[in-house]
Amino acid sequence: MSLNVKSKSYIAFLAITATLIYIYIVINYSIPNIWMLIFWSGLAITVESLLIPMPSNNVGVSVGYAINIASIIVGGPLLATTSAGLGFLLRAPKITGRGYVHILNLPPHKSVFNVSQSIIVTAFISLTYVWIGGEIGKFSIFPTLVILLLGIILNTTIISGYLTSSTGQKFHVVWINNVKGMITSAVAVGTMGIIIALAFIGYGYGAVILFFGPLLLARYSFKLYIEMRNLYLSTIQALNKTVEAKDPYTSGHANRVEKFAVELAEAYHLPFESVQNIKTASILHDIGKIGINDSILNKATRLSQEEFHEIMRHPSIGADIISKVDFLKDITTIVKHHHERFDGKGYPDGLHGDEIPIEAAILTIADSYDAMTSDRPYRKALTQEEAFEELKRNAGTQFHPQLVETFISIMNH
């Protein structure tokens, strides 16, 4: 995939910044001895080659942060920055379906980005360690805790900047998503780095090898977590495909509803967790239709009252299905109430006004808008302007009035 101008400019900026900061470190700092460089670079290359691919954003994570933190404490800025850069430059992780990926078969811009990011982050936090009183070759608790957190912030900021430039997503949303996804594991891995540094200071190279085992165990535990997350995402997609197989007219509907709902939730400044719940609920909001007769779902004319009452059961059926799945329980009420009306005349429980969860009210608008602007067996799609007029006309009765106003505003930009 070719890079856009923003992504090219961003990577060029990182490369120039990395070059300048590395030159500064070479001029002002030294490496204790060549054996330390070989040893810590070897560790960095090894752990970076044990990369764990992430399922959604085309990046990966490793336990290399532990080696970065340890090498800063024991050897200072030049040792840490050089070994970190070599770790990214010479790594060869095995990626499912692609085999071993290394500098010779990786697109040049990815290598430049990876090495530049590594140099910038490691150089900046190692310099910070020294500037705030950290002693090279000795453990200084306050400077170490500072750089531990600072490294996480810098890493997520640089990655989020690249994803924003390449995908057009909002920076703060991408950044929060990255921080949420890695903060706990990064702190745990960084803490392991502190232990490795203490082992080296107290007992030398052999002790580091001894503690390398627990680091690999931490990597294995995180790998299991990612695999579980992959299974979680695959389950959601499989459930969505089940609905689409039952009702061919909803093909692509869930993905469009997800897009509209997430944009509205973000514009309405909902918390990160609420946005994530809306994202999942949007994909699964019609899962209850698997319990509805096909002849009703695919009917080419308007439904009778009896048939409509049958359709009205799908939010409750969906909520019941989801409530049995532990990792989906948080979205049960969103799915159950996405057909409630602001005036209390909706279903299944006739909630009104603020009784309706705000996430469900958002999903209602996104779902209704996509339904209106899509062809149905019994009518042609409305234009965007016609759909907006319908939303305005029903604001305060069917739809949450403030949400309608916000939705139309973001859709017009």
Judged by DSSP in three states, 376 sits in strand
Owner of token pair 């061919």: 248
The torsion angle over the Cα atoms of residues 287, 288, 293 and 299, rounded to 10 degrees, is -70
Rounded to 5 degrees, what angle do the CA atoms 131, 137, 141 make? 60
> How many C-beta neighbours within 10 Å does residue 89 have?
18
**How crowded is residue 304: how many other Cβ atoms within 10 Å of its Cβ?**
11
CA dihedral 235, 241, 244, 248 (to 10 degrees): 180
Helix (H, G, I), strand (E, B) or coil at 61: strand
Dist. CA 294–CA 302, nearest whole Å: 15
φ, ψ of residue 114 to 5 degrees: the values are -60, -45
Element holding 230 (H helix, E strand): helix 205-246
Kindly state the helix (H) or strand (E) to which residue 238 belongs, with its residue range.
Answer: helix 205-246
Whether the upstream peptide bond of residue 53 has omega within 30° of 0, thus cis, is no
Give φ, ψ of 61 to 5 degrees.
-125, 155
- What is the DSSP secondary-structure string of 329-369? GGGHHHHHTTT--TTS--SSS---GGGS-HHHHHHHHHHHH
Give this prediction's pTM.
Answer: 0.64
Q: Say if CB 72 and CB 122 are below 8 A apart.
A: yes
How far is C-alpha 175 from the chain's CA centre?
8
The answer to whether residues 280 and 331 touch, using CB atoms and an 8 Å cutoff, is yes
**Residue 60: which H helix or E strand, with range?**
strand 60-61
Q: Report the relative pairing of strands 94-95 and 99-100 from DSSP bridges.
A: antiparallel
Of 147, 105, 120, 92, nearest in space to 10 by CA: 120
Residue type, 180: K
What structural domains does the chain harbor? 5-229 (1.10.1760), 247-411 (1.10.3210.10)
Assigned token pair, 138: 């000795």
CA 318 to chain centre: 26
**Per-position pLDDT tens, the chain of length 413:** 467 888 899 999 999 999 999 999 999 999 989 999 999 999 999 988 887 655 544 455 567 888 999 999 999 999 999 999 999 899 887 776 677 878 888 888 889 998 999 999 999 999 999 999 999 999 989 999 999 999 989 988 998 888 788 766 677 777 776 666 667 777 878 888 899 999 999 999 998 888 777 777 766 776 676 667 667 767 777 776 776 676 666 668 888 999 999 999 988 888 878 888 999 899 888 888 888 887 777 776 777 888 888 889 999 998 998 887 777 888 999 999 999 999 999 999 999 999 999 999 999 999 999 989 987 666 678 899 999 999 999 999 999 999 999 999 998 87
Q: Hey, which bits of 110-159 come out as E strands? A: none
Q: Which residues, including other chains, have CB under 8 Å from residue 94's CB and lie 6 or more apart? A: 100, 101
Q: With contact defined as beta carbons under 8 Å apart, do 282 and 261 qualify?
A: yes
Give CA–CA dist 267/405, Å, rounded.
11
| Peptide bond before residue 348 is cis, with ω within 30 degrees of 0 | yes
